[in-house]
Every structure is written in C-alpha cells, then in structure tokens.
Amino acid sequence: MDLRQTIEEIVEKHLPDSSHFVVDVQIVEKGNKKSLHILIDADHGINIDTCALVSRAVGEEVEAKELMDTAYVMEVSSPGVDFPLSSRRQYEKNIGRNLKVTLEEGEEKEGKLTEVDQRAIQIMVKKKEKGKKFVEEPLSIPFDQIKKSIVLVSFK
C-alpha cells in the first residue's frame, strides 16, 4: 500500500461519523518541502471545527507512525465550489443544484442535477424549441463519459 492510501485510511478512521467522507488526499513535493493536502466533506456540509479535529488526529497518527520522512505542512479543508465532483456521494449531495459537465470528448452540458445512480447522473438541460421557447428535458450521462463536473454557483 502506498503512502497516499495509508493516509487516506487514517483520515477515514478519524472522521466524526458516517456522514463524513474523504474527497481527496494529495502529497505534494516541491524541492525538499512536502505538503499533505486532505479534502473532506459531509452529506450536509462541513465546518472548520471538524477540519481542525481531523487535522489534529491525523497529524498525531502520522507523527506517531513516522510516515513522513521530512518536515511537512498539512492542510485539511473542504473542497471549494470550483473543485470538480469526484465521487457518487458528492453528486448525491448536490442533487437539485446546477452543474457544468465536461464530457470526455470535450463537449459541455449544463443543467440541474436530478438523479444519481450506480452508473450515471441525470441532469435537466434546456433545449430550444421552435420559436423562442425553451423546454427542459432529462439527459442521462454515464460516469465513464464524464471528464469533469463543477457545481455552478448562483447568486440569485
């Protein structure tokens, strides 16, 4: 098992409950400096106190097990709104929100996320009818055709 997987398991062990989950763990090396970036989320949002608790617990275990061979900086946070969705659980959390989905071949689709299942997501896309009317129709997109999905933020 590599270091990233080991740290991800440590993070999972220190999450407060089953509504919380790991989004990403990255170990970044720039020259002789290492940083550990941990992204966590929860089904109903996450707060800074949870990030701080996870950071302390993970830091203590990483130090106790001497997993990092040099000094490092650790950052535990939630993914920002511009961070692409990467798991089915993140999609489920964002049902009802508007997404911009980039497909593997480069085409982009925008619409409201309405469903998520084991193999695909469904968004409601606006399609122009004859004249000037727009109608919404469902579009199913298999996960294996999605290159990137970002939640569109509305300031309405």
Count of Cβ atoms closer than 10 Å to residue 88 Cβ: 15
Q: Give 43-98 pLDDT, tens digit per residue.
A: 988 999 999 999 999 999 999 999 998 889 999 999 887 899 989 999 999 999 99
Q: What percent of the chain has pLDDT over 90?
A: 78
Q: Is residue 83 part of a domain?
A: no
Structural domain count of the chain: 2
Task: Say if residue 66 is in the same domain as residue 103.
Answer: no
C-beta separation of 10 from 58 below 8 A: yes
The predicted model scores a pTM of: 0.80
Query: Phi, psi (5° rounding) for residue 80?
Result: -75, 170
Distances (CA, A) of 122 to 72, 113, 119, 137, 139: 41, 6, 10, 10, 5
Same domain, 56 and 118: no
d(CA 35, CA 108): 33
Q: Which domain holds residue 141?
A: 88-151
Please tell me the distance from the alpha carbon of residue 155 to that of residue 27, in angstroms, as a whole number: 34
Q: Confirm whether 129 is domain-assigned.
A: yes
Using CA atoms, how far residue 139 sits from 3, 7, 30, 121, in Å, is 39, 37, 42, 8
Whole-angstrom Cα distance, residue 63 to residue 18? 25
Quick one: pLDDT at residue 148?
95
97's tokens? 């929100």
Looking up residue 94, the CATH number of its domain turns out to be 2.30.30.100
Share above pLDDT 70 across residues of the chain, in percent, rounded to a whole number: 99
Summary mean pLDDT of the chain:
92
